[in-house]
A and B are shown apart, each in its own frame.
Chain A
């Protein structure tokens, strides 16, 4: 495989609070290669957004402390000044946020907001930037783009706003696009439109995508490789097939089992994961998932490392033996196939 485009090396992000140190991201390493889509899956508070916000150096909280490196095309972004990072943001790495209402400026016309970004990064005339903005709006499927460029964000529906965000994110042809829950606020039919659009852009421009989501269905549709995060750490990482057809970590099993799926017979009960994620201020010394895990045993008191336990590049952080995992997995992931529905 080619050189990595973006490499995160042992990233740690902590926040100092009155109540103690919050370990939001605790040693995350990941790589993104050219043209691929990396899915990052996890629940609220798992650190998936903080990780990518740190990569973009968007966390300005003075109480935040960072450790580790983020290498983008050979340079460490963590060592850059805010001025230097600005030339990368938008131009090299574009970002789409979850809520298109709060991430667009409500008092500027959308066309202007896209132009501004182009003018910031490239030496072009305002007229050229305007034409490019209209071209982009057309490309992301906004009908009548020339007129709509003069509209304000509130005059667009949620799906249309997200299209504007995407147009802005790709306006300077970034080679990495970070999409943080791009469809969570949208209805399923609109979600299908937006995911289709991201796929098309990926195809047309060869953009590499980091897709942050909590929806296993979305990564099944979009991602080449997937990292599952829990309590600030990656607990499993592998190709899309690895994760869905040979998941190794009990948390991944739990995630897969707790979805009410349309493609399977209806289980009598959903295999919910009991309990709550641990507080990031008081992470246990051992496996962070142990307290909620049905397969906990004495070794779980020591912290499991994210290792290639199968020798196939499929990493997981669970002490269970390979055989144990195989024996116990089906009951959790597909209870409907194991138990009889009365």
Chain B
């Protein structure tokens, strides 16, 4: 379908960015939600630190996985990048332009290149619209082509996502969850975006259907050279789709690394615990592996803990973790960053230094080889 795609000449596609070049840069992005109180005068009494100083780069053609537990700010971050939320401070540079202060009008052309797929396929499709109209909506809003062109494009899109032309006049309720998610994907692809932010796109689906949708997203990326930000709490799914993975905890990225590396050599104790908590569908392995069970719940993002935010639940925490916030710095191989005072698997040169500090080093190494 790549070459036979309907010509939508009205769509100007923004600056060309070759695969491997930086498509998106988030710089010290913060998003605080105010909590107000009072009857007449609404005073701000506190703030939810939903996203707190997050920076990362995204290169064209890659998939960045975003993982973390509920409330860690991964969805908020995605919505900040898509500018569905205004950012408290920091900047988001997309295709070379800082869009963090853009007005709605200025954002409109940006949104052609930046689309979202949402988690709940039941809530994200208008139940009163036919599937054809839902998929045509972005084309209509952006005046992308004549009616005839739009109609052809919609049929094309249906085929691309594995539905058929006869589905065009049906309503969302006539479809299963997996099929609805396909409709959501078709809508996101309508304007030929460069970046697709998928916020838990498969979490609401059954296992067998989940695999179908993941394979579909995979194929579409190959076919159209898409860049993905893929948010999920299922670490298996994230590993399967991602080139790089960022782990978030209480509004911060605590570790970011090439995908396979993160699973082989987690550096942050939170990543280690997260990986070890995933149930493995293999009884022998499940019985033999060491599991790190984190105590308690994620603390409130209204008053995040001092120093390292993970320290109240961390089994390696020491005094420094309570007082000083660890910076996100490189560990070992290129592109593996973590924010921890007591990193787990260290690179070769750090390993040497660790051997002097034998007790801490041994414990860390033993546990990292015990986890997955």
Binding site for B on A (CB under 8 A): 43-44, 157-160, 187-193, 195-196, 214-218, 220-221, 240-241, 244-245, 254-263, 266-267, 269-274, 276
Q: Are A214 and B206 in contact (CB under 8 A)?
A: yes
Bound-state Cα–Cα, A255 to B207, Å? 7
**A220 touching B280 by the CB < 8 A rule?**
yes
Q: Which listed residue, A259, A266, A267, touches B281 by the CB 8 Å rule?
A: A259
- The residue of chain A having its C-beta at the shortest distance from the C-beta of B276 within the complex is A192
Residue in contact with B372 in the complex, picked from A190, A260, A263, CB distance below 8 Å: A263
- Looking at B206, B211, B279, B294, the one whose CB has the most chain A CB atoms below 10 A away is B279
Find A269's partner among B207, B218, B233 (CB 8 Å cutoff): B218
Which chain A residue has the least Cβ–Cβ distance from B218?
A269
Chain B, Cβ-Cβ closest to A223: B283
> How many A-B contacts if CB must be within 8 Å?
125
Q: Name the distance in Å between B284's Cβ and chain A's nearest Cβ.
A: 8
B282 within 8 A of partner (CB): yes
| B37 at interface, CB cutoff 8 A | no
Q: How far is the CA of A241 from the CA of B287 in the complex (A)?
A: 12
Q: CA of A245 to CA of B178 in the docked complex: distance in angstroms?
A: 29
Q: List 12 A-B contacts (CB under 8 A).
A: A190-B297, A192-B294, A214-B206, A216-B281, A220-B280, A220-B281, A244-B282, A260-B237, A262-B280, A263-B282, A267-B240, A270-B215
Chain B interface: which size bin?
Answer: 35 or more
* Beta-carbon contact of B239 and A262 below 8 Å: yes
Q: Are A262 and B283 in contact (CB under 8 A)?
A: no
> Would you call B279 and A261 a contact (CB within 8 A)?
no
Residue from B212, B237, B280, B291 within 8 A of A272 (CB atoms): B212
Determine if B283 and A266 form an interchain contact, defined as CB atoms under 8 angstroms apart: no
CB distance from B56 to the nearest CB of A (A): 22
Q: A220 contacts B283, CB within 8 Å? A: yes
Contact of B163 with A by CB under 8 A: no
Contact A262 B372 (CB under 8 A): yes
Add 19 more A-B contacts to A221-B279, A221-B280, A254-B208 (CB < 8 A). A43-B209, A158-B70, A187-B70, A214-B207, A217-B281, A220-B280, A220-B282, A256-B281, A259-B207, A260-B211, A262-B235, A263-B282, A263-B285, A266-B239, A270-B240, A271-B211, A272-B208, A276-B176, A276-B179
Q: Are B212 and A274 in contact (CB under 8 A)?
A: yes
* Minimal beta-carbon separation of B332 from chain A (angstroms): 20
Kindly list the 8 A-B residue pairs having the minimum CB-CB distance in the complex, ordered from nearest.
A217-B279, A272-B211, A258-B211, A260-B236, A260-B240, A273-B208, A187-B69, A270-B211
B binding-site residues for A, Cβ under 8 Å: 69-70, 176, 178-179, 206-212, 214-215, 218, 233-237, 239-240, 260, 263, 273-275, 277-283, 285-286, 291, 293-294, 297, 372
Cross-chain contact B280 with A188 (CB below 8 angstroms): no
**Smallest CB-CB separation from A193: which chain B residue?**
B293
- Do B208 and A244 have beta carbons less than 8 Å apart? no
**How distant is A216 from chain B, measured CB to nearest CB, in Å?**
4
* Alpha-carbon distance A158/B297, docked complex (angstroms): 9
State A262–B206 Cα separation when bound (angstroms). Answer: 18
Bound-state CA distance A244–B281 (Å) is 8
Scoring B208, B235, B274, B297 by chain A CB atoms within 10 A of each residue's CB, the highest score goes to B208
CB-contact partner of A260 in B208, B214, B277, under 8 A: B214
For residue B240, give the distance in angstroms from its CB to the closest CB of chain A. Answer: 4
CA gap between A157 and B301 in the complex, in Å: 14
Q: Which of B263, B285, B293 is in CB contact (< 8 Å) with A192? A: B293
Residue of A nearest to B300 (CB): A157
Q: Is B282's CB under 8 angstroms from A258's CB?
A: no
Complex Cα gap A221–B293 (Å): 14
Contact, CB under 8 Å: A276 / B178? yes
Question: Which residues on A sit within 8 Å (CB–CB) of B178?
Answer: 276
Contact A44 B206 (CB under 8 A): yes
Chain B residues positioned under 8 Å from A160 (CB to CB): 297
CA distance A221 to B287 in the complex (A): 7
Given contacts A189-B273, A276-B176, contact A157 B283 (CB under 8 A): no
In the complex, are the beta carbons of B293 and A273 less than 8 A apart? Answer: no
Closest to A257 in B: B211
Contacts of A269 in B (CB 8 A): 215, 218
Query: Given A244-B282, A262-B236, A192 and B277 touching (CB < 8 A)?
Result: yes
